[in-house]
Amino acid sequence: MELNRRTVIAGAAAAGLAATALGAGSAQADTGRRPVREPFGTLADGTKVHRWSLENGGTRLKVLSYGGIVQSLEIPDRHGRHADVVAGFGDIADYEAKSPYFGALIGRYGNRIGKGRFTLDGTTHQLSVNDGVNHLHGGAKGFDKHVWHVEPFTEGSDVGLHLHYTSVDGEMGYPGTLRAKVTYTLTRHGDWRIDYEATTDRATIVNLTSHVYWNLAGEGSGSIEDHELTIAAARFTPTDAGLIPTGELAGVAGTPFDFRRGKPVGRDLRAGHEQQVLAKGYDHNWVLDKGVTARPEHVATLRDPRSGRTLRIATDQPGLQFYSGNFLDGTLTGTGGRTYRQGDALCLETQHFPDSPNHPHFPSTVLRPGRTYRTSTIHTFGA
């Protein structure tokens, strides 16, 4: 029987052992702690970067002002033992010089736009091209490579951070000045919630997401191929050789892309499907059955059988990009001092579809003046 965090806390509280059930030494871990700021280093241009640490409901989160990066996220296993379950670096130099978007906020547009071009209201815009001939994750200097203004908060039993960044008109080729606000919240149950907001003074496109690399057995612990993944999606968006969607919404039935009933990530990873050959594994957008919804709904579950840790993802977005860590090649050393090899972490990015501006039948990513872009994703942990 799978127990979520709320069940564990409730049962332990009845026995007067809530802190023990969460692996905490005191009730402070359960009631939340105001975020604490500390220096984390200096960028090459002399800009100072800070790290914020916050804790609630047994979840411990560390966030950098640079890129809104989740540098570590610790949750307990079935025995109450905490481990960091996200890939990352121990110093700012590595993040600045060679990070594959570890833990970062992505914008203005998460994922790829073919040839870096799109047409809006009759005007064609050329974006920064940084992935072959294509535009990826906001361009050469996307939101992940800027220092955000961070404001800590406590609200009732929740603790969190408000992160702000203003992207000026023309940055990376995008039209309009976009004012973005992203809120990270740790709830009293230990859930990690992300709320995204943005406004613009000119019609533009926007698709914000978080690029956390997960390994529920613990950062640097090895392959995620035994992790069990469930995705509530009967279709996905096939791509060309540049990983740009062809426009087709293909059925997953009878293919390695069928995760509807859940299966180990590695079971069909090397099945030889032509889409896997192009991506060197999984690096695709799943078309969530629920579509765009008014509030977050559960769409995916990831479970590590070794530790018992589980991650449940709820979102209001129509898509989920599952990336199986195909391009980790052993050249990056993580926070724990171990190198990351292919498949040592995976990403589950809630989003609108890649290249949506060039496919009118995909859900729209256009934002106009007077409207506010809002979306939320909730990560619920258990063991």
Distance CA 250, CA 237 (A): 6
CA 139 vs CA 126, 176, 207, 308, 375: distances in Å: 11, 16, 13, 38, 22
CA 180 to chain centre: 17
pTM of the model: 0.91
Q: Give exposure, 191-205, as e/b (b: 16+ Cβ within 10 Å).
A: bbbbbbbbbbeeebb
Q: Which of 137, 211, 284, 352 is catalytic?
A: 211
Ordered per-residue pLDDT tens for the chain, 383 residues:
333 444 443 333 333 333 333 333 333 344 567 899 999 999 999 999 999 999 999 999 999 999 999 999 999 999 999 999 999 999 999 999 999 999 999 999 999 999 999 999 999 999 999 999 999 999 999 999 999 999 999 999 999 999 999 999 999 999 999 999 999 999 999 999 999 999 999 999 999 999 999 999 999 999 999 999 999 999 999 999 999 999 999 999 999 999 999 999 999 999 999 999 999 999 999 999 999 999 999 999 999 999 999 999 999 999 999 999 999 999 999 999 999 999 999 999 999 999 999 999 999 999 999 999 999 999 999 99
151 a catalytic residue:
no
211 a catalytic residue:
yes
Q: Give exposure, 90-128, as e/b (b: 16+ Cβ within 10 Å).
A: bebebbbeebbbbbbbbbbbbbbbbbbbbebeeeebebb
Q: Which of 96, 189, 349, 352 is catalytic?
A: 349
